Structure 1
Amino acid sequence: MLTLDNILTDRGSRYAVSGAPCASETEAKSLLKTLKKQKKFAKATHNTWGLLLGSGPIKNDDGETGAGNVILRMLERDEIRDHLVIVTRWYGGKHLGGDRFRHVQTAVRAYLDAADLTSTDCP
């Protein structure tokens, strides 16, 4: 599993992003469990994830309402299937409002670039 730690901080909240190839919801839950074996990820406020499978999209907001949909939209737009992406947030004490969705997008984009999953072809 590839993990990019401390990719951004805003008003005390910190973000990380992780992911790996994944073929089922069961495997996704197993990968999340593996990530949470690291104490800091187990103590995170939110471990939001999304996954596109042939059977359809699967997500878990983990209390960060709407964040799973942001991840799914980005995976759909780049046509990335069978790959789990987990965005982790440690709440910093101040509400971020709509900025939290932009931060999820930033985290997912950083992961897709680092994992070389983005298309470099021009339209």
Structure 2
Amino acid sequence: MPMKVVDATVSTFGEVFEKFKSEADNHKANLILFLADNEPSTNLSWCPDCVRAEPVIYKKLDSSPDDVALLRAYVGDRPTWRNPVHPWRTDSSFKLRGVPTLIRWEDGAVKARLEDHEAHVEPKIEALLSGN
């Protein structure tokens, strides 16, 4: 099935997330992937865990038979993310501790999540995608 992908930054997240939530019933799976920004000089993520996990996540989502919506939320550059009061670290819904973090959003809440140390593990991505 086709995967719908939308991107957001810290500054655009509120507006993008509201639209994402309003369209949630149109998709079998609604996922949020919190990622590190790319370094302008290399166009690669500054986060080695993101570099490792992203291709695996996209491969699994692309091969899913279900209709999937993915909101990619970029946390910022390394100094922005390292700030202990980063908005997604302190947000009561997300409580991010690391990137990448893959979240299944269902019924207006976080139903399941994969943290940075497990976001590249294919069986865990499959389980999150299927809602198990």
Normalised by the length of structure 1, the TM-score is: 0.33
